[in-house]
Amino acid sequence: MPALPSGLFILMEGQLYLLLLLNLVVPKVDTARIYQQPNVVVTATRMPLNNIDAPSKVTSLNVNELETDGFHNVTDMLSTVGGLFMKDYGPAQLQTLSLRGTGAAQTLFLLDGVSLNNIQNGEVDMFLVPTNDLSSIEVSQGGASALYGANAVGGVVSLQSEQFSGNFIRVNLGTGSFGSQTYGGEISEGLGSAQVDLTLQQRRAVNDYGFSFANGSGNLPMKRIGADYLIDNQSLKITIPSSNGRSSLFVQNISDNRGTPGMVTDASFVGTAREIDKNTIAIIKNDGTLGEFDYSVSAGAVYSYLNYIDPSYEENDYYKTLSVQPAAQLSYIGDRFSSAVGIDGEVDRGESDQMIGVKNRNRIGAFFSGMYDVHKGLDLETRIFGAVRFDDYSEFGSSLNPKVGLNIKPFARAPFHLRGSIGTAYRVPTFNDLYYAGLGNTNLKPEKSVEYDFGGIFEFPTRETSLNADLDVSYYHINISDGIVWRPVNTTLWLPENYGKILSQGVEVSLHLNVNTLFSLRGNYSFGKSVDVSDPTDPLTYDKQQLYIPEGQSSLVATLSPGILNFTAVVLYAGKRYYTTDNSASLPAFTVVNLSAGARIGVGIADITPAISIDNLFNQEYEVIYQYPVPGRMYQLQVGFQFNQAQSK
């Protein structure tokens, strides 16, 4: 491995020493208070503020509440976010997302501030992301490279690990259609001054579901073979709070063995390919205060191993990647002016039988974010936002990305806010783009984008009544240039080039409504065009919608919670999706209805939570991706037992 740049080495070494020093000498308070307010978000500015005051749209999801409502995985949870479309290749298969018409590698995924985007392909497989150790998810729509750097073109999905919530032991059991089984447990315990949370989970299924194959003369009944899976995950979080902050260690391990049978191309198709994944994440972090300032110092490491085996083609490929990410941030929350400044680095290493030699990448970056309240203390409100970030890569040189935003409450007596922002973003080439199988292009440049969005949010009627509701409307415009596209050199050879130009624009409408704790309704509708404008002389691609991006999509989630009971109905709609670049062939629109019912029964020190869910209630036959069948109606039964213990003194 080549020597690190001196600046990056000093940054990493200095932050690790600073992290240990702060644990020992700085007086501490509980800075977690800002994350416990359900209407406070941090992703949009890297500073805490109310969602209605943000310069761009942010959707906040409470994972525990969604699990109560019958959502079993991250894919299902994110499918209810406006402007976000899940590309689902079937149960246990690859599951990625498109945010505002961008690609899966153009959305940045964070876990406690550490990037999860795989440096080999730039993506995150949602199937491999467990929910049992998560507390919340924030989705920040729109470019965010001014705050977070590379890959935040469509936006940022920020996952937060679970916070300590008392002493308890929890056991979860589940069974369902096609041989699915779930076993899980969690122990949360205060040990002296330390708070320890340990989670374990195993999921498995045969996945031998039936589907219909269109063979040209009709629909032939078939059964999915070779899509079984076994996935284990374990996590440990240790938090040590004190009078002026907290220190934490989070370790997560995920391993799975799954069949990946691929596209169903004919009536005799039987897939034999398998994939083995092993992912480990470790994050050490210290948060606290220094006088009037809040600080955060962290170091994260993400290790990923993938082994793809297909006996039919005598393939046995492997990919190993390691990413180390130190970071430090200092924030000031003032009466009228707030700001955050930070520095971070990244050291990436990749090895594969599909690349020649071990590949390395280093990065160092710094950012500044500021917010000024022009009319502090008045009914009229005007907040001005600004951010700028500088990154320097060992492979691509430097990148400077600014962003400015505005949030205005124009009417004193109306809870209505207008907002808007404009900025730039970028995505760096992956190791596959640069080095894959001798075909990569080491001269590739990062993709670039210029983006703006504006909209408004209206809260009604008032917060003093039993009814709380808000209506959010947003328009976005994303112009991507230097897009990395694998293009044919001849009939057999394809190479990546900075060729693509994509224009993505659309409208998102979201409605949230709550009546006390009895009833809640979340709905959204999105209409967007994401078209190729690379070559105006090519009628087969120019102004054509991107593959598998529906123009229209919507979701509706209704929850009724009388007493100890809970009932949830979910309706998901996606418009037609093209699967040819000339838009000559498409998959039809589909609508899926899911239902769930559950209860929370208190028996002494124990809580018992039985639940049943039915997905695809009306047995809809559809494909999200061409020739990747998904199941029809599915059932799942679950029961949880939580034994609460007295708090440690």
Tell how strand 168-176 and strand 155-161 pair up. unpaired
| Average confidence (pLDDT) over 483-495 | 87
- How high is the pLDDT of residue 7? 41
Helix or strand or coil: residue 281?
strand
Interacting residues of 189 by C-beta distance below 8 A, sequence separation 6+: 167, 195, 196, 197, 645, 648
Nearest by Cα to 260 from 324, 313, 186, 200: 313
The enclosing H or E element of 596 equals strand 590-599
Q: What is the pLDDT of residues 377-386, one digit of tens each?
A: 677 789 999 9
CA dist 365 and 347 (Å) reads 12
Angle CA 447–79–589, to nearest 5: 90
Position 2 pLDDT exceeds 50: no
Phi and psi at residue 328, to the nearest 5°: -145, 140
Quote the pTM value. 0.92
Q: What is the pLDDT of residues 275-332, one digit of tens each?
A: 999 999 999 999 999 999 999 999 999 999 999 999 988 999 999 999 999 999 999 9
- How high is the pLDDT of residue 22? 38
CA dist 559 and 523 (Å) reads 12
Helix or strand or coil: residue 12?
helix
Q: What is the pLDDT of residues 175-192, one digit of tens each?
A: 999 999 999 999 999 998
CA torsion 296→67→117→165, rounded to 10°? 20
- With beta carbons less than 8 A apart as the criterion, state whether 350 and 358 touch: yes
- With beta carbons less than 8 A apart as the criterion, state whether 190 and 168 touch: no
Amino acid at site 22: L
Conformational region of residue 410, where left means phi above 0, alpha means psi within -120 to 50, and beta covers everything else = alpha
Give the CA count within 13 Å in the CB-facing half-sphere of 340: 25
How is residue 631 annotated by DSSP?
-
Q: What is the DSSP string of 311-324?
A: GGGTEEEEEEEEEE
Tell me what percent of the residues of the chain surpass a pLDDT of 90.
81
CA dist 444 and 423 (Å) reads 23
Angle CA 24–28–29, to nearest 5: 160
| Average confidence (pLDDT) over 42-69 | 93
Per-residue CA distances from 282 to 114, 227, 603 (Å):
9, 30, 37
Position 372 pLDDT exceeds 70: yes
Q: Where are the domains of the chain?
A: 6-189+274-563
Interacting residues of 50 by C-beta distance below 8 A, sequence separation 6+: 39, 40, 41
Q: Where are the beta strands (DSSP E) in 394-518?
A: 397-409, 416-427, 447-460, 467-488, 494-515
Interacting residues of 478 by C-beta distance below 8 A, sequence separation 6+: 100, 101, 102, 142, 143, 153, 154, 449, 450, 451, 502, 503, 504, 505
**For 25-34, 59-68, 246-255, 339-348, which range has the lowest pLDDT when averaged over its residues?**
25-34
CA dist 396 and 68 (Å) reads 46
| Average confidence (pLDDT) over 332-358 | 96
- With beta carbons less than 8 A apart as the criterion, state whether 327 and 111 touch: no
- With beta carbons less than 8 A apart as the criterion, state whether 381 and 409 touch: yes
Q: Calculate the average pLDDT of the chain.
A: 91
Does CATH place domain 6-189+274-563 in 3.50.50.60? no
Conformational region of residue 98, where left means phi above 0, alpha means psi within -120 to 50, and beta covers everything else = beta
